C-alpha cells in the first residue's frame, strides 16, 4: 500500500451539559455520574447526526481548500438512527457539503465505523492511480427516550456531534504509518443476547438497554470468557499497529482513546498497557462524551488543533466497536496544519 496522508480533520459539536446539570434534570443519578467520571456531554437541541456531519465536512473542506472534484469517495459512519427510514445520510452529506457526484456510502460498524472507513478509504485510493482523496464523516444524535445517553450503556455517556476526515494519497499534514483492525465475531451477541430474532418492530424495545444484553451474554458464556476475548482483541490491534509502524508504545507522543467512562478507560487501556493518563485525550474527552464512530477523528483533531502534538510526533488512535472489532492507527505529524495557530497565536490559513 502506498502512503496515505491525512489532509484535514474537523469536529462540529453542540453545547455541553455538565454532569451536575444532568443530575439536576434527572437525566442521571449522582452515583452514575461519579462512576463514569464525565464532567459534561455535548447535547444537540435540534441538529440531526447527518446535519452535524455535514457541518464538520464543510469545515474540513474550508480548512484544506480541497475541491469537490478531488474527492473520489464519501464514507459516512454512524452509530444510531440517522433521522429517516430507507434514506441515505451519505448522499445528504454529499449534497449539503460537497456537491459532486462521486460514490457516497454509509458505514455501519457502530463505534468502530470511523476507523473502518479509513481502512476502506486506503484500499479504495490505492486501487487506482487516478484517485485523489476520500472524505470520511461521522454524525449521531442520541435522542431520548429511545436512547438514554447516560443509562442505555452504563459506563459510557453518549454524545451528539459530527466529525470529518480527509484522507489523501497526494499530501497532508500527517501520514498514516500503520492501521490494524481485529475482529472477533464470537462477541457479537454481547449487544444482542436475550433478544430473539423476528420481524422488525420499532416499539419492541422502547429504550435501548445494552446492559441487559451484556448480562444475558455473560450469563451464557461466562464473565472470564467475555473479558478475556475483549482484552485479547484490544491487545492484538494495538500491538499489531505498533509493529507495522516499527515503533513501540514508548515512541508514541499522545494517545487518542475511545470516549468511554473512567472505569472502562482504566481497565481497557491504562492498566492493560501501563499508559500514563497524561498521554491520553481523557481530560478532554470526559468533557465531550462518546461520539460513536467519530471518537478517533475528534481525538486527532483535538490533539492537532490544541497544539498537543506537532511535526515529528507520533499519535496512536484507538477505537473499538460492537461486533466486536478493534482498530489502532499510528499517525505521524509532518507539519502544522494551516488552520492551527502557531506559538504566537497566528493562523496560517
Taking residues 8-20, report their average pLDDT.
98
Q: Are residues 311 and 186 in the same domain?
A: yes
What are the Cα distances from residue 335, in Å, to 9, 57, 120, 175?
A: 14, 21, 25, 10
Tell me whether residue 185 is in a domain.
yes
Residue 85 shares a structural domain with residue 158: yes
Query: For residue 52, what are the domain limits?
Result: 4-172
Query: Is the predicted pLDDT of residue 346 greater than 60, yes or no?
Result: no
Q: Do 105 and 152 fall within a single domain?
A: yes
What mean pLDDT is predicted for residues 209-233? 93
The domain tally of the chain equals 2
Answer whether 114's CB lies under 8 Å from 319's CB.
yes
Cβ(63)–Cβ(172) below 8 Å:
no
Are 232 and 128 contained in the same domain? no
Question: How would residue 200 be classed by pLDDT, with cut points 50, 70 and 90?
Answer: low
Q: Do 62 and 124 lie in a common domain? A: yes
DSSP letter at 188 equals G
118-143 per-position pLDDT tens digit: 999 999 999 999 999 999 999 999 98
- Residue 325: name the closest of 131, 153, 150, 190 by CA: 190
In a 13 Å sphere around the CA of 271, the CA atoms on its Cβ side amount to 8
pLDDT score for 343: 44
**What confidence tier does 80 reach under pLDDT thresholds 50, 70, 90?**
very high
Boundary residue ending a domain (119, 144, 172): 172
In a domain, 300, yes or no: yes
140 and 192 both lie in a single domain: no
In a domain, 347, yes or no: no
Indicate the residue among 119, 141, 172 that finishes a domain: 172
Q: Is residue 349 part of a domain?
A: no
> Do 99 and 198 share a domain, yes or no?
no
Pairing outcome for strands 161-168 and 4-12: antiparallel
Give the length of the chain: 349
DSSP three-state, residue 317:
strand
Amino acid at each position: 500500500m502506498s502512503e496515505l496522508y491525512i489532509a484535514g480533520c474537523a469536529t462540529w459539536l453542540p453545547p455541553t451539559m455538565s454532569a451536575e446539570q444532568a443530575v439536576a434534570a434527572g437525566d442521571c443519578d449522582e452515583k452514575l455520574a461519579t462512576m463514569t467520571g464525565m464532567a459534561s456531554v455535548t447535547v444537540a437541541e435540534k441538529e440531526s447526526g447527518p446535519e452535524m456531519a455535514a457541518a464538520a465536512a464543510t469545515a474540513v473542506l474550508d480548512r484544506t481548500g480541497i475541491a469537490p472534484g478531488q474527492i473520489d469517495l464519501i464514507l459516512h459512519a454512524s452509530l444510531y438512527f440517522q433521522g429517516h427510514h430507507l434514506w441515505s445520510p451519505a448522499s445528504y452529506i454529499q449534497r449539503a457539503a460537497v456537491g459532486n457526484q462521486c460514490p457516497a456510502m454509509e458505514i455501519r460498524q457502530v463505534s468502530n465505523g470511523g476507523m473502518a472507513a479509513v481502512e476502506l478509504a486506503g484500499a479504495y485510493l490505492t486501487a487506482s492511480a487516478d484517485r485523489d482523496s476520500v472524505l470520511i464523516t461521522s454524525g449521531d444524535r442520541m435522542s431520548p427516550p429511545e436512547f438514554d445517553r447516560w443509562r442505555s450503556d452504563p459506563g459510557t455517556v453518549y454524545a451528539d456531534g459530527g466529525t470529518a476526515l480527509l484522507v489523501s494519497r497526494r499530501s497532508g499534514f500527517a501520514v498514516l504509518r500503520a492501521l490494524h483492525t481485529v475482529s472477533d465475531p464470537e462477541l457479537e451477541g454481547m449487544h444482542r443476547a436475550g433478544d430473539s430474532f423476528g420481524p422488525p418492530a420499532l416499539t419492541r424495545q422502547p429504550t435501548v438497554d445494552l446492559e441487559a444484553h451484556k448480562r444475558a451474554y455473560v450469563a451464557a458464556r461466562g464473565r472470564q470468557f467475555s473479558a478475556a476475548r475483549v482484552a485479547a482483541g484490544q491487545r492484538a490491534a494495538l500491538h499489531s499497529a505498533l509493529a507495522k509502524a516499527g515503533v513501540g508504545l514508548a515512541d508514541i507522543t499522545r494517545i487518542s482513546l475511545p470516549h468511554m467512562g473512567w472505569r472502562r478507560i482504566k481497565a481497557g487501556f491504562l492498566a492493560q498497557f501501563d499508559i500514563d493518563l497524561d498521554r491520553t485525550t481523557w481530560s478532554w474527552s470526559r468533557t465531550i462524551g462518546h461520539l460513536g464512530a467519530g471518537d478517533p477523528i475528534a481525538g486527532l483533531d483535538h490533539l492537532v488543533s490544541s497544539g498537543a502534538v506537532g511535526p515529528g510526533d507520533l499519535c496512536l488512535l484507538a477505537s473499538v466497536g460492537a461486533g466486536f472489532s478493534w482498530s489502532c492507527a499510528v499517525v505521524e505529524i509532518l507539519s502544522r496544519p494551516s488552520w492551527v495557530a502557531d506559538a504566537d497565536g497566528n493562523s496560517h490559513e
